[in-house]
Amino acid sequence: MKTLSENKCFGGVQGVYSHASKATNCDMTFGLFLPQEAKFGSVPVLWYLSGLTCTHENAMVKAGAQSWAAQQGIALVFPDTSPRGEGVADDDDFALGQGAGFYVNATEQPWAPHFQMWDYIAHDLPSLLFNNFALDEEAQAITGHSMGGHGALTLAMAQPDRFASVSAFAPITSPTTTDWGQVQLAAYLGEDQANWHRHDATLMMQERGFDGPVLIDQGASDQFLANLKPEALSHAMAARRQDGVFRMQAGYDHSYFFVSTFMEDHVSFHAEALYGLS
Amino acid sequence: MKTLSENKCFGGVQGVYSHASKATNCDMTFGLFLPQEAKFGSVPVLWYLSGLTCTHENAMVKAGAQSWAAQQGIALVFPDTSPRGEGVADDDDFALGQGAGFYVNATEQPWAPHFQMWDYIAHDLPSLLFNNFALDEEAQAITGHSMGGHGALTLAMAQPDRFASVSAFAPITSPTTTDWGQVQLAAYLGEDQANWHRHDATLMMQERGFDGPVLIDQGASDQFLANLKPEALSHAMAARRQDGVFRMQAGYDHSYFFVSTFMEDHVSFHAEALYGLS
């Protein structure tokens, strides 16, 4: 692991690190905010998965999350959204390839050699983090924006003992039925739609749900509503009687101005679940 | 004036606008955050002047200021740091030319035709803003970062009736004696150092001071301390018995991770002065 930068921030440290990932078979970069409490012992950790076109950096500089995480004594992890670098496949479409890993393990060419973002977030990066930083593996929560909201929800429901709580900002909720999803799932996983199933948050909500609280925020003026399909997840949450809150926020769009507006609520929501564990 | 974007943010609107400036003789872009209170009447306004290499955008997306401004019901203005575009002079040095206007009125070639940033911030942009938005001209405060801290301090002391309060993050305090300043003041204003005088915050503090409260934050691990020379301003403030606070912040560097950490304090500081006016 290599330290690329460390900046003091809200009493803690905002670091950027790179490491050779076994999952993606290339170097990966991530951001990690450690609150000052991490000097004295392990702290809870909130994962933030980013959306299409983002690197580890976007949320780290634009979401304003460190302020609230510092107040709550919680660490923040900002992974990249795909493998990158020479020899890693890419596509002209911004919604496929580098910057658009969709948090799946690709089985198809040319993606399979590196696009193993599910394993990266589910196993590889956690293993690195809990071995190298003062983070409490027993106190994890997860959130994300857009494609990252999709990743947060599908990972949380598939790893039921790992996360105390899950939230999302404007998540892609139904990738098996929308433009942001069908193209990518076919490219990464092949045409057999049985393999897409566990990567659809709405289908997973219908089948399994989440054993903890769920918080979803969606802007009513989001320019990508047709690709996000919030009504699918909202319906599935209510039909399942899922412990959760789905909030439609009048006037907000898909930008980080929306994400940062509601970040305090999300960090507080996760803090309540995380500290309830101990 | 042209609207480039408007995003709902913390209940208000983060807008980006462009306009033809008479001062700089070219199109200028600025960001303006209006809190929700601006729907019902004029609100106080905090000017944020940015540092070297920045546009209107850096602080607008990285400083986390909207959260606190919304809480206080205060508008934020994010001007650009120089004229830009075809026909506008530039230099290979990032600290001269476009992105580095230093908030002066250039008298020398090739800068004089457009580099009139003093007049732009002192007269031109205020006139546009107060004629077009629900902003209270009688309730203004100013802050800035690095070169923008220099601009905030020198403008505030030169326009004593305009601002209720002034603050700065890691300001350039002594440009007549440091690398960030001597080159630029010579290029923009010529070799006669008598013309540099009013653009040196330390000299202005010694001579005039500011008729209101001053707040300065400086990171002790700032990588540019030699160019900022915080001890010059700190000495001048104390020697003058200036109403103010100078804070040396252990461990913090020059980045927006530093700025965002202390933004809440600065907005609260200005809010107290601004609401004290009415």
- Three-class SS string for B195-224? HCHHHCHHHHHHHCCCCCCEEEEEECCCCC
Q: What is the mean pLDDT of each run of 10 residues along chain A (278 residues)?
A: 98 98 98 97 98 98 98 98 96 96 98 98 98 97 98 97 97 97 98 97 97 96 97 95 94 98 98 84
Q: Tell me how many residue pairs between chain A and chain B have CB atoms under 8 A apart.
A: 62
Which is nearest to B167 in space by CA: B39, B252, B80, B274?
Answer: B274
Q: State the pLDDT at residue B277.
A: 64
The catalytic residue among B114, B145, B199, B254 is B254
Pairwise CB contact (< 8 Å): A62 & B67? no
| Cα-based distances in Å from B81 to A178, B53, B267 | 43, 8, 21
Task: Give me the residue from B9, B253, B256 closest to A257, CB to CB.
Answer: B9
How far, in Å, CA of A250 to CA of A258, rounded?
11
DSSP state of A82: S
Whole-prediction pTM? 0.91
Restricting to A residues 203-222, those with a Cβ less than 8 Å away from any Cβ of B are 219, 221
How far, in Å, CA of B25 to CA of B28, rounded?
9
**B52-67 core/surface letters (b: 16 or more CB in 10 A; e: else):** bebbbebbbbbbbbbb
H-run or E-run covering A217 = strand A214-219
- In chain A, DSSP finds a helix count (H) and a strand count (E) of 10, 9
Q: State the pLDDT at residue A277.
A: 64
Which chain A residues are closer than 8 Å to B260 by Cβ?
9-10, 64, 66-67
Strand, coil or helix: A198: helix
Could you tell me if B177 lies within 8 Å of chain A, comparing CB atoms?
A: no
H-assigned helices in B33-190: 57-62, 65-72, 117-119, 125-132, 147-158, 179-189
Cross-strand pairs, A31: A16, A78
**Residue A41: which residues within 8 A CB-CB, separation 6 or more?**
A134
Which chain A residues are closer than 8 Å to B15 by Cβ?
none
Give the position of tokens 């301090």.
B153
How far, in Å, CA of B225 to CA of B219, rounded?
9
Q: State the pLDDT at residue A259.
A: 98
Segments of chain B scoring below 70 in pLDDT: 277-278
Q: State the pLDDT at residue B184.
A: 98
Tell how far CA A163 is from the center of its chain. 12
Q: State the pLDDT at residue B196.
A: 98
Pairwise CB contact (< 8 Å): A256 & B61? yes
Q: Are B46 and B143 in contact (CB under 8 A)?
A: yes
**Residue A194: which residues within 8 A CB-CB, separation 6 or more?**
none
Closest chain B residue to A67, measured at CA: B261
Task: Give me the residue from B7, B10, B252 closest to A255, CB to CB.
Answer: B7
How far, in Å, CA of A101 to CA of A81, rounded?
6
Could you tell me if B17 lies within 8 Å of chain A, comparing CB atoms?
A: no
Token code pair at residue B272: 């107290």
Q: Both ends of chain B: CA-CA distance in Å? A: 30
How far, in Å, CA of B111 to CA of B89, rounded?
6
| Burial (0-12, 13-18, 19+ Cβ within 10 Å), A138 | middle
H-run or E-run covering A55 = none
Q: Which amino acid is at B216?
A: I
Task: Give me the residue from B7, B256, B264 closest to A257, CB to CB.
Answer: B7
DSSP state of B258: H
Angle, vertex CA A238, rays to CA A206 and CA A172, nearest 5: 60
Instruction: Report the relative pairing of strands B135-144 and B75-79 from DSSP bridges.
Output: unpaired
